[in-house]
Amino acid sequence: MRLRTARLLLALPVLVSACRDSSDLPLPSVGDEPARVPAAAIEPAPEIPADAPVVVFLGDSLAAGLHLAPDEAFPAVVQRLLAKRGHPFRLVNAGVSGSTTAAGLARTDWILTQEPAVVVIGLGANDGFRGIALEEIERNLRGILDKVRKNGARALLLGIRLPPNYGKQYVEGFDALYARVAKENGAALVPYFMKGVGGVPEMNLPDGIHPTPEGHRHLAANVEDALAKLLDSGAG
């Protein structure tokens, strides 16, 4: 079983790229595409036991760390933080730039073949930017959580907020659906995982959307406690 899982983990980047379709394209950046930000000193990757639980990050360009090195993206930072705290996990970063909740739902079955202990779901920003109906976003998130639960994995939903220019009714409805979906589906929730990063110029690249390495470290800090609790709950 370990050999099968290892092969799947190695194949993930190729297969995730292959499953992209025309609805899964990145949003355009504002202005010229930013050059890759030079990395600060990055800690060496931790040694992860072969029997450590698998954690899948199902997300979009935020999870993928667009414009940055893979080890600068917040899922890799969370892995290092939790390994230090005695919660090592094998990371599968299933972040695909431009991904919507519909695209995430479409690839959930394949991702669950990784036999994850926890699935961290960070989707919805691209839906909101495109003005997709709230009912559709909620239906897709419920579909993902239902599949995760039936697979025996635990779920951590990352709440997202939109800027006010999308209209008061839409913005408030968008914000509220994360708490409702998490509660009704028994998922853990980080209410606003971009706290301290979203809308903070120095934490984002020139496009104003994608975080810098420092921004990703803040995202990791926002997520680590909630993920540690889920890993604790599955211990033994």
User: pLDDT of 108-127, one tens digit each?
Assistant: 999 999 999 999 999 999 99
**Structure pTM?**
0.82
User: What pLDDT, on the 0 to 100 scale, is given for residue 198?
Assistant: 94
Q: Hey, what amino acid is at 73? A: A
User: What pLDDT, on the 0 to 100 scale, is given for residue 46?
Assistant: 74
Marked catalytic residue, from 71, 146, 175, 207:
207
User: What pLDDT, on the 0 to 100 scale, is given for residue 127?
Assistant: 98
Marked catalytic residue, from 61, 67, 216, 218:
61
- CA 233 – CA 166 distance, rounded (Å): 38
Any catalytic annotation for residue 61? yes
User: What pLDDT, on the 0 to 100 scale, is given for residue 47?
Assistant: 85
Q: What is the DSSP string of 46-104?
A: PP--TTSPEEEEEESHHHHTTTS-GGGSHHHHHHHHHHHTT---EEEEEE-TT--HHHH
Residue 7: pLDDT over 70: no
State CA 14 to chain mean position distance. 18
3-class secondary-structure state, position 132: coil
Any catalytic annotation for residue 51? no
User: What pLDDT, on the 0 to 100 scale, is given for residue 235?
Assistant: 55
Contacts of 184 (CB under 8 A, 6+ apart): 142
Residue 87: pLDDT over 70: yes
User: What pLDDT, on the 0 to 100 scale, is given for residue 4?
Assistant: 45
Residue 90: pLDDT over 60: yes
Marked catalytic residue, from 67, 210, 216, 218:
210
Q: How confident is the model at residue 44 (pLDDT cuts 50, 70, 90)?
A: confident
Q: Are 119 and 24 in contact (CB under 8 A)?
A: no
Any catalytic annotation for residue 232? no
Radius of gyration of the chain (CA): 17
Report the alpha-carbon angle 163-195-92, nearest 5.
Answer: 105
What class has domain 53-233?
alpha beta
Q: Are 145 and 121 in contact (CB under 8 A)?
A: yes
Determine which of 23-37, 81-95, 192-206 has the lowest per-residue pLDDT on average: 23-37
Residue 74: pLDDT over 50: yes
Residue 2: pLDDT over 50: no
